[in-house]
Structure 1
Amino acid sequence: MNTIDATALGGLREALRGSVITPRDPGYDAARSIYNAMIDRRPAGFARCEDLADVQTVISFARDTGVELAVLGGGHSGPGLCLVDDGLVLDLSPMRWVRVDPDTDTVQVGGGSLLGDLDHATHAVGRAVPSGIMSTTGVGGLTLGGGHGHLTRRYGLTVDSLLSADVVLADGSYVTASRESHPELFWALRGGGGNFGVVTSFTFRLHPAGTVGAAVTVWPVDRTPEVLRWYREFLPAAPDVLTGFFALLAVPPGPPFPEPIHGQKMCGVVWCYTGDLSEEHLAQVFAVVNEPAPPAFHFAAPVPYPALQTMFDELLRKGLQWYWRGDFFETISDTAIDVHHKYGENLPTGLSTMHLYPVDGAAHETDADDTAWAYRDALWSGVVAGIDPDPAHADAIRRWCVDYWTDLHPHSMGGSYVNFIGHGESPDRVRATYRGHYDRLAAVKRAYDPDNLFHANQNIPPAPD
């Protein structure tokens, strides 16, 4: 790829309503600082786009100069695919806006918005879009990967609520993709990642979710086998109004957890309930947590949905070292349970964790071929994450994550949620993620980005002519 000279960047700066940040500008280090501090890349420049015209200008500049291009939204990409050394970063972060239409129960969201922006605006009308579990995540990256979280069992994946997307394509043109307009592109955007263009806005269907029943239950880590055997049977049979992701963790040193268990290794479930929130009914719903073993701690209460979405923001703040890998699972086998128990007993740091997110319920009601998401038959999307603030521990958390994933992967379905593919994994992992949809995605790529301009992602190269 070509490099950018100062004269060319100066011309780009003059052409944009937004700003251009280079290594000589005071805000450069802040601009290249993303969620995962393990990523240390030095782009030649950041083009901070204020609007659609800015996005078109930057794409045309990258195409005409041959410079390598990356797209930055929320900056939560685990492998840091939103940054590229010596290339140009198209930064959507200024495009943070949300417009709620209560009459149609829809919401339009700017391409640089975060989940917290979306949740704040939609909560005002008692609604939500099913999305992730942290308010600092970018709407764009999460949606283009498929999107799962607390509301998946009730309302489906994020892409199941997507009605349309405004997209700037590799040739600089602008289209709106929906079921009626550019339907193949719309199909590919719903799970195919950032391969097909730059989405400047998303329009979603809204769902009732003003206040939810939030709960956290933890058991001593030596109870992991009993709890997981119970969980694998209980949750898929539970009504869709109840969900809960399983986790291995060290108890954080703060509320709501009592001080005597701070720092202890535990297994647990973080719950979300969207049914009757009366105190008596919530107590009945969560009485089941005593079935596998007596919990070390249990807390349940009605909370605003945005409060549940921000529960982990401070704990897992920007600037930590991260290394993660994921897989889909159709069952949690006894052998897999042994693997979880082994690595849960040996968490390498206080923030390292493993999560199993339910992706059944309403997510199974969408036909397998209706979106690019290829694992409609999965019950869980799992992620192993080594996390720590100290760069000196980077090798330890990476080794624990890779060893854990290596032992667990034979018990998986073979592919991963695309947003959980870690840095350094082979292109075969991308193909496994899309199963039989891969060739169709490659054909869409050929139609909309034949020169693979958008390749700083979990890349799907264009199909050959």
Structure 2
Amino acid sequence: MPAIEDSVEPGKAFGPGFGGTIIDRHHPGYDRARGVWNGLIDRRPAVIARCSSVADVVEAVRFAGEHRPPVSIRAGGHQVAGSAVCDDGLVIDLSAMTGVDVDPARRTARVRAGTTVGSLDTETQVFGLAVPGGDVTGTGVAGLALGGGIGLLARAHGLTCDHLRSIEIVTADGLVRTAGPGEHTDLLWAARGCGRGLGVVTSLEFDLVDLGPSVSIVEVYYPAEQGESVLRAWRDAVSAVPDTVSPMAILRGMPPYPQVPAELHDTPIVGVGAVFAGPPERAEAALAPLRRLGTPLLDVSGTVGYEQSPSPPAGATRSFMKSHFLDELTDDAIRTLLDQQARSTAAGAELVIRTMGGAIRAVPPERSAFPHRGAGFNVNVNAIWRDAGLDDAILDWSRSAWAALGPHANGGVYLNFSGLDEDAEAVHDAVYGPSAARLNAIRAAFDPDGLFSWAARRP
């Protein structure tokens, strides 16, 4: 497929009503505009249509339908796989379309598609309310919710997509539709976990839950030498703590906290964390089992303002994430995790274990496309680094660690942690599982020519 500029001058082809910015390869802001959070992604689109309104999105979709370039959609731009930007095609860029409107009486929030999780939390926490989100502030709300949204409150309140009340979406025919409980319910079902391929979501409405502004947390770090006993004890504690706790364990290097001696920075540790999502007076008893798993190097548990972790700097950060769902965390799986941690020589390499169950499992299949509700755990092979010279070694470790964990998994893969785009294509069936057939039918109904499909985006 030829690049767009081989057949048309984009600045003239967009209608006069387009109020955003057209950025082509000659624009002085092109290199900045094509960049995303993951610096490993280095793609050169022919045109970036930075939209400022829904009308701009309609015009961009019209242009795409007429000229049929590869198309990608950028919202928060944080998705590790790099699907926000394509080579030699059109990026429909929603990053300027930000904002949150909270209705505390209805306990809802309307979120524009370019908004990040950190901005959403800032607005909802004014009222002591929250949308169950992910782990870091820089994550785009749209990508998080459309891919599922496993986070710090999952067992108590479910996934981010479980709180998705409605969406506004521009479909391939250029029409603006609202998908909610009373209209286009098939589109809403698909949006709760499909990730992409339905159209351009311009805003999302969420139901909110009570939380904050202060929450009790556990954050404890144990030396790697205690790893096997700590992870076994953690596994047992997970089955005993209430669903108001969504425990997490992480195998990584020691963070450079001021109270940690410099010689311990980046030494291998097993960390344990959780946020308590219940009544404050019950927090201490609920979290206590997670603080008695061994002899800690550091315990910084306490009461903090509710916020997710800050994201590393965009562009300078290189990242790879790939995952498995596990029905149970066996002793053999624990040993494999520790073996893979020992194999890693990079400070930014991590293995993260997130707990499922609780409110996640309670949602019936007919409510959402997210197919992995029966799993007990999600294990994420996660690497974050800055030195491009480490690319091959870290990617090799990440993919081999993921392969080593495969025998302990149930065959499912979390869309938001599915590797780079080429990895995501290879694990398509593992991502969508029993939802695939219905998703394909809905996509075919609203995008019969595959304008937003992965195949159509490839040059």
Q: Same fold (TM over 0.5)?
A: yes
In the alignment, does 2:168 pair up with 1:171?
no
The one-letter amino acid paired with 2:215 is: V
The one-letter amino acid paired with 1:374 is: P
In the alignment, does 2:291 pair up with 1:294?
no
Deviation of 1:360 (Å): 1.5
Distance, in Å, in 1 between the alignment partners of 2:68 and 2:436 is: 27
In the alignment, does 2:334 pair up with 1:337?
yes
The 3 A distance-change label for structure 1 pair 233 and 69 is same
- 1:375 alignment partner, one of 366, 372, 375: 372
Matches within 5 A, 1:223-372: 223-255=226-258, 257=260, 259=262, 261-277=264-280, 282-306=283-307, 309=308, 311-314=309-312, 318-372=315-369
SS of alignment partner, residue 175 of structure 1: strand
Q: Which residue of 2 aligns with 1:462?
A: none
Deviation of 1:255 (Å): 4.2
**8 Å contact 1:34–1:319 — kept in the other structure?**
no
SS of alignment partner, residue 392 of structure 2: helix
**8 Å contact 2:146–2:192 — kept in the other structure?**
yes
**8 Å contact 2:45–2:85 — kept in the other structure?**
yes
The 3 A distance-change label for structure 1 pair 150 and 318 is farther
Distance, in Å, in 2 between the alignment partners of 1:119 and 1:458 is: 35
The 3 A distance-change label for structure 1 pair 111 and 256 is farther
Distance, in Å, in 2 between the alignment partners of 1:213 and 1:155 is: 16
Matches within 5 A, 1:51-450: 51-210=53-212, 211-255=214-258, 257=260, 259=262, 261-277=264-280, 282-306=283-307, 309=308, 311-314=309-312, 318-423=315-420, 424-425=422-423, 427-450=425-448
**8 Å contact 1:372–1:441 — kept in the other structure?**
yes
What does the per-residue CA deviation read over 1:367-405, in whole Å, with 9 as the maximum and x for residues that have no partner?
133210001101222210222100000001101101101
Distance, in Å, in 1 between the alignment partners of 2:67 and 2:2 is: 7
The one-letter amino acid paired with 1:329 is: L
Distance, in Å, in 1 between the alignment partners of 2:334 and 2:120 is: 36
Deviation of 1:344 (Å): 1.5
The 3 A distance-change label for structure 1 pair 290 and 52 is closer
**8 Å contact 2:234–2:290 — kept in the other structure?**
no
What does the per-residue CA deviation read over 1:102-153, in whole Å, with 9 as the maximum and x for residues that have no partner?
1101000001111011101000100000011111000111110011101111
The 3 A distance-change label for structure 1 pair 217 and 457 is farther
**8 Å contact 1:81–1:456 — kept in the other structure?**
no
Distance, in Å, in 2 between the alignment partners of 1:293 and 1:426 is: 38
**8 Å contact 1:194–1:457 — kept in the other structure?**
no
Distance, in Å, in 2 between the alignment partners of 1:84 and 1:427 is: 15
**8 Å contact 1:134–1:313 — kept in the other structure?**
yes
Deviation of 1:14 (Å): 4.1
**8 Å contact 1:236–1:379 — kept in the other structure?**
no
Distance, in Å, in 1 between the alignment partners of 2:338 and 2:454 is: 36
SS of alignment partner, residue 337 of structure 1: helix
Deviation of 1:234 (Å): 1.4
Distance, in Å, in 2 between the alignment partners of 1:13 and 1:43 is: 20
Matches within 5 A, 1:12-23: 12=14, 14-23=16-25
**8 Å contact 2:180–2:188 — kept in the other structure?**
yes
Distance, in Å, in 2 between the alignment partners of 1:62 and 1:250 is: 45
**8 Å contact 2:10–2:47 — kept in the other structure?**
no
Deviation of 1:52 (Å): 0.6
What does the per-residue CA deviation read over 1:216-262, in whole Å, with 9 as the maximum and x for residues that have no partner?
11111122211221222211331111122111111122346454532
Q: Which residue of 2 aligns with 1:4?
A: 4
**8 Å contact 1:247–1:354 — kept in the other structure?**
yes
Distance, in Å, in 1 between the alignment partners of 2:314 and 2:406 is: 28
Question: Unmatched 5+ residue regions in structure 1?
Answer: 460-465
SS of alignment partner, residue 216 of structure 1: strand
The one-letter amino acid paired with 1:298 is: D
Question: Unmatched 5+ residue regions in structure 2?
Answer: none
The 3 A distance-change label for structure 1 pair 355 and 75 is same
Distance, in Å, in 2 between the alignment partners of 1:394 and 1:15 is: 44
Q: Which residue of 2 aligns with 1:35?
A: 37
Deviation of 1:435 (Å): 1.5
SS of alignment partner, residue 296 of structure 2: coil
Distance, in Å, in 2 between the alignment partners of 1:104 and 1:53 is: 28
The 3 A distance-change label for structure 1 pair 166 and 290 is closer
Structure 1 residue runs of 4 or more that deviate by more than 6 Å after TM superposition? none
SS of alignment partner, residue 392 of structure 1: helix
The one-letter amino acid paired with 2:125 is: H
The one-letter amino acid paired with 1:3 is: A
What does the per-residue CA deviation read over 1:176-208, in whole Å, with 9 as the maximum and x for residues that have no partner?
001221111111110011111111110000101
Deviation of 1:23 (Å): 1.5
The 3 A distance-change label for structure 1 pair 77 and 305 is same
The one-letter amino acid paired with 1:392 is: G
**8 Å contact 2:117–2:136 — kept in the other structure?**
yes
Distance, in Å, in 2 between the alignment partners of 1:413 and 1:201 is: 34
Distance, in Å, in 2 between the alignment partners of 1:367 and 1:417 is: 18
SS of alignment partner, residue 374 of structure 1: coil
Percent of aligned positions with the same letter in both sequences? 34
SS of alignment partner, residue 413 of structure 1: coil
**8 Å contact 2:336–2:404 — kept in the other structure?**
yes
The 3 A distance-change label for structure 1 pair 296 and 458 is farther
